[in-house]
Amino acid sequence: MRGPHNIWRLIRTGATLERTGAMGVVLEAFEAPKPLRILARTLVWPFRWIGIKGDPNMPPVVRALTALGPAYIKFGQVLSTRPDVVGSEMATQLRVLQDRLPPFSVAEAKAAIESELGVAPDEIFSEFSEPVAAASIAQVHKAKLADTGEVVAVKVLRPGIERAFRKDVDAFYFAADFIEFVAPFSRRLRPHDVIEHFDGVVTGELDLRLESASASEFASNTVNDAGFQVPTIKWDHSARRVMTMSWAEGAAMGDNDALRAAGHDLHALGARVLQLFLSHALRDGYFHADMHQGNLKVAANGDIIAYDFGIMGHIDEYTRRVYAEILFGFIQRDYKRVAEVHFEAGYVPADQDVDEFARALRAVGEPIFGMDATQISMGRLLNYLFEVTERFGMETRTELILLQRTMVVVEGVARSLDPSVNIWDVAKPVVGDYIRDSVGPKALARDLWKTAQVLSRFGPRLPGLVESALIKQISEEPEPRRRIWPIVASSMVLGAGLGIGAVYLAVTLL
């Protein structure tokens, strides 16, 4: 319930950060101004005693986030891929949140499997290991199928995770609504919609049947991608709280020493991670939206193996084209075109000045070129971008939240492999290929063909639709003759347009 009782949850969050020693570390990592640090510590300190103590053997920030629950752990997972924002030491500490959290017992896991599948686990698996990875929402066991001897991974949701996550998300909703109420200027960023989007994503992650379907679709889309693998789902042994898939054997993406020892080229791996993500997002409009090191392995042959498909992103074809044009404009340093695309897509209000917006974008983009990634402070860059969006009245695009967030995560993964990887240089060939295929005569021909196919399905109904529109116009208009011709003319233009489109399509294809 999103009531005032959530104030207690939020106060306890601050108190936990203070009690575990994480408050000072977080403020220092984000280079908060000294007055803000003093104010934050002063306000929270009286409530310190109500904070959750956590595990004193853990580093302060990991200790606090683990104590606070799964939603906070998810936030920590994102930060673990951003050493340029939180520092390399904290980023290393936060990687513990990805797949090395305290596990629950094998007995509880087997009980969940039997409850979900209706069969004793010993009848399905001839071997069943202790947890090999434990994350915020589920843990994974290595097992062997009794009937085939195949080695598989069995993912099982944590007991009571649904209720625990609901508590956190309800507190986030309360905080978002409170911020919108006391700070009306924040409504431009639509904090409530952002939390609602996050809620929907994680709710889907709590149903492993949906994750199984996502993995299956993702595997189908990427089957021909060189250097990339997706495990196969075992549908007979999967359900809402249990998912079984083929075992992914390889070195962890976050273990650079092991990757070097295996002879892998870390720079090439970093570039491939970025290019694969962009290819999936632009080509398919369906991408892995949780691509941190804990969800990636590198096979002996150098293939990147992705798993954990609880969070997947989807963007429609029009949005993909807009996103690609914006990226390509930055790569080409054509800031005027980037600005125009923002206006054409409705991302910036029409009453703003396109030339002024282009100059603001130039101030964002120019520092990137001529530098390697180690010279760029992504923290300062993101702060400046926020100032630009606020200045020009841009609203938060909830449909792009996962895309933007994953872009940051994937870049962080690439830079953890090789700090010199530059996202713009790596992105150029992928985005350029997409632009050539999706913007131009061939793309127009495909669009016209799709439009003709849609209209053909409504062909038998078109005369009736036109007749209904005419009758409605005649009945509502005092002088019907004067107003009927625009509708007739529109119908003629539509017919002519379809004819021209068909001719153009035929010429293009032939």
DSSP assignment string, 396-461: P-GGGHHHHHHHHHHHHHHHHH-TT--HHHHHHHHHHHHHHHHSSHHHHHHHHHHHHHHHHHTGGG
Q: Is residue 323 domain-resident?
A: yes
Q: Tell me, yes or no, if 177 is annotated catalytic.
A: no
The 10s digit of each residue's pLDDT in 235-275 is: 999 999 999 999 999 999 989 999 999 999 999 999 999 99
Q: Looking at 11-15, 332-336, 376-380, which range is the least confident one?
A: 376-380
212 is a domain residue: no
Residues 259 and 170 in one domain: no
pLDDT of residue 476: 64
CA distance linking residue 318 with residue 285, whole number of Å:
10
Range 165-183 average pLDDT: 78
42-46, 306-310, 489-493 — which is least confidently predicted? 489-493
Domain membership flag for residue 209? no
Question: How many structural domains is the chain composed of?
Answer: 4
Q: Which of 99, 170, 290, 308 is catalytic?
A: 290
> Are residue 452 and residue 406 in the same domain, yes or no?
no
- Tell me if 359 is assigned to some domain: yes
Final residue of a structural domain among 99, 123, 154: 99
The reply to whether 323 and 418 lie within a common domain is yes
pLDDT grade for 173, boundaries at 50, 70 and 90 = confident
Residue 10 domain-assigned (yes or no): yes
| Alpha-carbon span 302 to 376, nearest angstrom | 29
Last residue of a domain, one of 438, 467, 498: 438
Under the banding of pLDDT at 50, 70 and 90, the label for residue 397 is low
**Whether residue 447 sits in one domain with residue 415:** no
Phi, psi of 138, rounded to the nearest 5 degrees: -150, 175
Considering the domain architecture, whether residues 84 and 168 belong to the same structural domain is answered as no
115 inside domain: no
- Please tell me whether residues 302 and 409 are part of one structural domain: yes
On whether both 427 and 283 belong to a single domain, the answer is yes
- Whether the per-residue pLDDT at 211 is higher than 90: the answer is yes
Which positions ≥6 away from 61 have C-beta within 8 Å? 20, 22, 25, 26, 76, 90, 93, 94
| Whether 254 and 395 share a structural domain | yes
CA 235 vs CA 209, 211, 350: distances in Å: 9, 11, 50
Residue at a domain's end among 74, 99, 124 = 99
| Cα-only R_g, the chain | 26
Do 382 and 267 share a domain, yes or no? yes
Rounded CA separation 173/196 (Å): 8
In whole angstroms, what is the distance from residue 237 CA to residue 410 CA?
A: 31
Same domain, 428 and 489: no
Task: Specify if 140 maps to a domain.
Answer: no
The residue with greater pLDDT, 190 or 336, is 336
Residue with token string 């939206």: 289
Q: Name 510's Cβ contacts closer than 8 Å, sequence gap at least 6.
A: none
Q: Are residues 335 and 374 in the same domain?
A: yes
pLDDT of residue 400: 66
Phi, psi dihedral angles at 245 (to 5 degrees): -145, 165
Q: Which helix (H) or strand (E) holds 304?
A: strand 304-306
- Asked if residue 142 belongs to a domain, the reply is no
Residue 502 is part of which domain span? 441-509
Q: Domain check: are 368 and 476 in the same one? A: no
More confident residue, 1 or 89: 89
Of the CA atoms within 13 Å of residue 20, those in its CB half-sphere come to 28
Under 8 Å CB-to-CB from 38, ≥6 apart: which residues? none
CA 424 distance to own-chain centroid: 19
Beta strands 228-229; 242-246: pairing state? unpaired
Q: How many residues does the chain have?
A: 510
